[in-house]
Amino acid sequence: MELLHIYKIYNFHLNQLMILNNVLIGKNIQMRSATTDDAQFILDLRLDPELKKFINETSSELQKQKEWIDDQRKKNGDYYFMIMNNKEELLGTAAAYDIINKNFNVGRWIVKRTAPKTIAVESLVMVYNFGFNILKLSTADFQVRTENIKGLNFHLSYGCEIYKISGNLVHLKFKKTLFNDLLKKFKNYHNINII
């Protein structure tokens, strides 16, 4: 058993499809690759009237969600995670995708309304750690809708920079060089060794 920052990794490796063959284990949550078996849970999250305010429109057809997951699992540079508590109950989703050169997008982030508030922060830290320390990338990009003031302020609070505003989207960037500062700020939400 090897402890690598936030993850306990057992024979950790990524296969040629964008599938994580093992579970990433954090302080209070675990993350694994999404499968078509998760389609109904994902659909329920994405169609929840409160949760869908700041995400892209989703078809209500279960088969379309399954097909989307099948396609995603074959897409190069696209990791889609299921967030679970340590009892393996599903809590939400997150992703590292559009990996180009040393950059990746963080997104598809949605957490059940009944999940503890700490889950959102810990899952974000885990996705950053996956991108920066497992995949060895240097910059994370993502978008927040302009009307999502709370979300935007959260991301700005730990060092994200706005680099573009287009339509109803604010485009942000977070650099690996600021990751240790983020770890210090959210030290109660993770078990990553701070360098």
Q: What is the pLDDT of residue 183?
A: 93
Residue-number span of the structural domain to which 166 is assigned: 2-189
Whether 174 maps to a domain, the answer reads yes
Tally the domains of the chain. Answer: 1
Cβ atoms 62, 81 nearer than 8 A = no
Mean pLDDT for the stretch of residues 30-58: 89
81: domain CATH number? 3.40.630.30
Cβ atoms 110, 49 nearer than 8 A = no
Whether 29 maps to a domain, the answer reads yes
Mean pLDDT for the stretch of residues 161-185: 94
Nearby residues of 181 by Cβ (< 8 Å), 6 or more positions away = 158, 159
Whether 195 maps to a domain, the answer reads no
Q: What is the DSSP string of 11-78?
A: S--B-SSS-BSS-EE-SSEEEEE--GGGHHHHHHHHH-TTGGGGS----S-HHHHHHHHHHHHHSTTE
- What token pair was written down for 8? 């306990």
Whether 81 maps to a domain, the answer reads yes
Q: Could you report the per-residue pLDDT of 77-113, keeping only the tens digit for each?
A: 899 999 999 899 999 999 999 999 999 999 999 999 9
Confidence grade of residue 23 (pLDDT, cut at 50, 70, 90): confident
Whether 194 maps to a domain, the answer reads no
Whether 119 maps to a domain, the answer reads yes
Whether 55 maps to a domain, the answer reads yes
Q: Could you report the per-residue pLDDT of 106-161, keeping only the tens digit for each?
A: 999 999 999 998 999 999 999 999 999 999 999 999 999 999 999 899 999 999 99
Gyration radius from the chain CA atoms? 16
Q: What is the pTM of this model?
A: 0.87
Q: What is the pLDDT of residue 195?
A: 64
Whether 109 maps to a domain, the answer reads yes
